[in-house]
């Protein structure tokens, strides 16, 4: 991810996540002030197709965000981004990868289940509209990288 991508990225973020979207200012803060974080950007011929980010904190890494634009969905891009986060987490020494997903996001939940994530906790009414957040974890000590 590059600084010059942030304005376009924030527009996509708003389209994808509405009131829960990160702003340009939020993205600047993520890139500037948090050395433990890594952000990836996937592009195709039309520009940004998806992005993902991770926070490394010792033996635990946290997925900060993962998103694919509508035109890139069902192409395997989300899986490739997630697999790259898993690889980078292991390389940073993490033994566990955590993430949070909206309970009503069936596509994301399917991706995470297929990758081996398991439910750790439910945060009731966490998201706007009273939607639950599911905290999921992947054990990086036993799970193999995807081929």
Q: What is the pLDDT of residue 16?
A: 75
64-92 mean pLDDT: 92
Ordered domains of the chain (ranges, CATH): 3-139 (3.40.630.30)
Bridge partners, residue 101, by sequence: 134
Average pLDDT on 81-103 reads: 95
Per-chain mean pLDDT for the chain: 87
Q: For residue 54, what pLDDT is reported?
A: 95
Residue, of 13 and 110, whose pLDDT is higher = 110
Return the HEC string of 64-92: EEEEECHHHCCCCHHHHHHHHHHHHHHHC
Query: Each residue of 111-142: pLDDT tens digit?
Result: 999 999 999 999 999 988 899 999 999 999 98
Query: What letter would DSSP give residue 95?
Result: S
Phi-psi category of residue 93: left, alpha or beta, with phi > 0 → left and psi -120 to 50 → alpha = left
- pLDDT for the residue numbered 3: 64
Instruction: Give the CA angle between residues 16, 49, 103 to the nearest 5°.
Output: 40
Q: For residue 145, what pLDDT band results from cuts at 50, 70 and 90?
A: low
Asked whether residue 45 carries a pLDDT value surpassing 70, the answer given is yes
What is the structure's pLDDT at 143? 58
Structure confidence at residue 46 (pLDDT): 87
HSE-up of 40 (CA within 13 Å, CB side)? 23
Cα distances (angstroms) measured from residue 107 to each of 61, 79, 101? 22, 11, 10
pTM above 0.85, yes or no: no
pLDDT at 98 over 60: yes
Which residues, in sequence order, are CB contacts of 37 under 8 Å at separation 6+?
30, 31, 53, 54, 55, 56, 64
Contact 124, 132 (CB under 8 A): yes
């Amino acid at each position: 991810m590059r600084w010059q991508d942030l304005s376009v990225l924030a527009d996509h973020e708003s389209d994808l996540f509405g009131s829960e979207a990160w702003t340009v200012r939020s993205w600047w803060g993520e890139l500037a002030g948090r050395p433990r974080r890594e952000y990836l950007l996937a592009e195709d011929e039309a520009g940004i197709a998806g992005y993902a980010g991770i926070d490394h904190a010792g033996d635990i890494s946290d997925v900060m965000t993962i998103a694919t634009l509508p035109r890139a969905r069902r192409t395997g891009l989300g899986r490739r981004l997630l697999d790259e986060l898993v690889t980078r987490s292991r390389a940073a020494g993490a033994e566990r990868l955590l993430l949070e997903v909206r309970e009503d996001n069936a596509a994301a939940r399917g991706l995470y289940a297929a990758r081996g994530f398991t439910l750790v906790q439910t945060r009731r009414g966490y998201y706007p509209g009273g939607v639950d957040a599911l905290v999921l974890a992947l054990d990086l000590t036993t799970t193999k990288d995807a081929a």
